[in-house]
Structure 1
Amino acid sequence: MVQTEQFATHDAHGRSPVDAVVERMHSLRAEWPASDGVAVFNRVYLAVTEEIDRRIDGGDFPDRRAAVTLDVLFARRYLGAVDTAASGGRPPACWRPLFQHRRHPGVRPLQFALAGINAHIGHDLALAVVDACHALGCQPADLEGEFDRVGDVLVLLEERIREDLMPGPDLLEVADPLTHLLGAWSLERARDGAWSAARLLWGLREIPGLAEEFAERLDTGVGLVGRCLLTPWPDRS
């Protein structure tokens, strides 16, 4: 679906559309138990979204409107998956593993976080760039600066995971499967792939059937990676 909605940087009360996204994530955090797999990702993503909001307000993004539009459309893809799952529908394939395994006792918090990041960056980010281009009437190249700045903040996801979700010194053991899991998935590679996918989708916009097929295959492929990331591990306690 083509996104054509445009966002004012602030409303009459000085609130930005990103503030509304942050409020929604806070409400979800209050609604779900901390052990819930989607809640684990939501907690990490909330911290990053709050940081992006602060940086937008602080003038770190030269094109404020573009940054707000990209950030909100990006977040809405995650929130849309949440709403679809809550209503009993089928969220995109990239999100299904996380929603299906969110209460699995054999999956660790680190895995939940990585699976959410994989879905959101590996699939949603590319589509959000295309959505933002339609909304702003621009080309992907015009958003590259904002994309890179948002990407720099997304690196905080990895830092947050390492600080909050590593299960302790055991993770440092080479034999621990989570050590290999953390090393096998790369946020930087996922960002690069999202940018390439966005450019390709934009180039295919005049061939909607082919664009839809590519987006579907991207969704399916990212979902397959998510299922691998959520492989249950035996309790080592």
Structure 2
Amino acid sequence: MAQLEHFTPSVYAMDTVVLRMRALAAALPERDGIAVFNRVYLAVTEEIDRRLDAGEFADTEAAITLDVRFAERYLNVAEEGWPPACWRPLLQFRRHPGVRPLQFALAGINAHIGHDLALAVVDACRTLGCEPADLEDEFDRVGDVLVSLEERIREDLMPGPDVLQIADPLTHLLGSWSLERAREATWSAARALWALRGLPDLAEEFGQRLDGAVGFAGRMLLTPLPD
């Protein structure tokens, strides 16, 4: 499991994350799979930043630390292209003409929530010298922002009314993945990784298996579909 360098939590760190995402948005083709996910994630990050500025997080330092650690894991993949297994399907299929934008968005969310968020909780705990339980409120608030935007994401990226037809393959893909279930599994994974921190070999094995399982789910989400 890769660990990220030390940093001092601040509003400037959040601003830097937003600027990096905006730079990616400007550089990538609109239909590129990473670009599709980046637009979604940028909207989420800007909303979290707005809520931080509004004082909606009780522990601002903890919230910024978790959010920045979380975002850095995605940005390192998008900018450097050296991905863990969970991101490889999206990078492989990012320009496939048979994959719809909503699939790209869900595959990115799957990789980032299912794998990166668990590691980001551990990163944040190490940075702050705290336990996962101390970050649970921040974890839940970030998750609430994602859930609040999920419906809008699906509406914006739906290809048309045909997806409401039961025979449309996208309908079945949408029903196969749940953000709420992914959040619950991620919190359990984060607690397990933290409990295993004194057993690095086991922690590494657990992290690799988590990475592979999330990658497998992402590959299913990116199954090319007929028009």
Match of 1:45 in 2: 41
Residue pairs, 1:88-167, within 5 angstroms? 90-167=82-159
After TM superposition, give the deviation of residue 159 of structure 1 in Å.
2.0
After TM superposition, give the deviation of residue 4 of structure 1 in Å.
6.2
Match of 2:6 in 1: 5
After TM superposition, give the deviation of residue 163 of structure 1 in Å.
2.3
After TM superposition, give the deviation of residue 180 of structure 1 in Å.
1.1
Deviation larger for 150-159 or 93-102 = 150-159
Kept after mapping to 2: 8 A contact 1:45/1:157: no
Give the gaps of 5 or more residues in structure 2. Answer: none
- CA–CA separation in structure 2 for the residues paired with 1:98 and 1:157: 21
Specify the code of the residue in structure 2 equivalent to 1:156. S
Specify the code of the residue in structure 2 equivalent to 1:205. R
Match among 14, 27, 31 for residue 18 of structure 1: 14
Residue pairs, 1:50-65, within 5 angstroms? 50-65=46-61
After TM superposition, give the deviation of residue 182 of structure 1 in Å.
0.8
Match among 146, 159, 166 for residue 174 of structure 1: 166
After TM superposition, give the deviation of residue 79 of structure 1 in Å.
0.4
Match of 2:23 in 1: 27
Tell me the matched-pair count: 226
State whether structure 2 residue 209 is matched by structure 1 residue 224: no
Specify the code of the residue in structure 2 equivalent to 1:155. V
Specify the code of the residue in structure 2 equivalent to 1:82. A
Specify the code of the residue in structure 1 equivalent to 2:49. D
Match of 2:80 in 1: 84
Change in CA separation of 1:8 and 1:132 when aligned onto 2, cut-off 3 Å? closer
Match of 1:36 in 2: 32
Change in CA separation of 1:8 and 1:214 when aligned onto 2, cut-off 3 Å? closer
Specify the code of the residue in structure 2 equivalent to 1:109. P
State whether structure 2 residue 64 is matched by structure 1 residue 72: no
State whether structure 2 residue 178 is matched by structure 1 residue 186: yes
- Scaled by the length of structure 1, the TM-score of the pair is 0.93
Specify the code of the residue in structure 2 equivalent to 1:40. V
Kept after mapping to 2: 8 A contact 1:102/1:112: yes
Partner of 1:60, secondary structure, is coil
After TM superposition, give the deviation of residue 115 of structure 1 in Å.
0.4
Q: CA RMSD in A?
A: 1.1
- CA–CA separation in structure 2 for the residues paired with 1:35 and 1:3: 30
Give the gaps of 5 or more residues in structure 1. Answer: 11-15
Specify the code of the residue in structure 2 equivalent to 1:9. S
Kept after mapping to 2: 8 A contact 1:4/1:131: no
Kept after mapping to 2: 8 A contact 1:9/1:68: yes
Specify the code of the residue in structure 2 equivalent to 1:28. L
Match of 2:197 in 1: 205
Partner of 1:95, secondary structure, is helix
- CA–CA separation in structure 1 for the residues paired with 2:154 and 2:3: 36
- Give 4+ residue runs of structure 1 displaced > 6 Å after superposition: none
Kept after mapping to 2: 8 A contact 1:3/1:134: no
Match of 1:13 in 2: none
- CA–CA separation in structure 2 for the residues paired with 1:117 and 1:224: 14
After TM superposition, give the deviation of residue 117 of structure 1 in Å.
0.3
- CA–CA separation in structure 1 for the residues paired with 2:130 and 2:105: 32
Specify the code of the residue in structure 2 equivalent to 1:168. G
After TM superposition, give the deviation of residue 168 of structure 1 in Å.
1.3
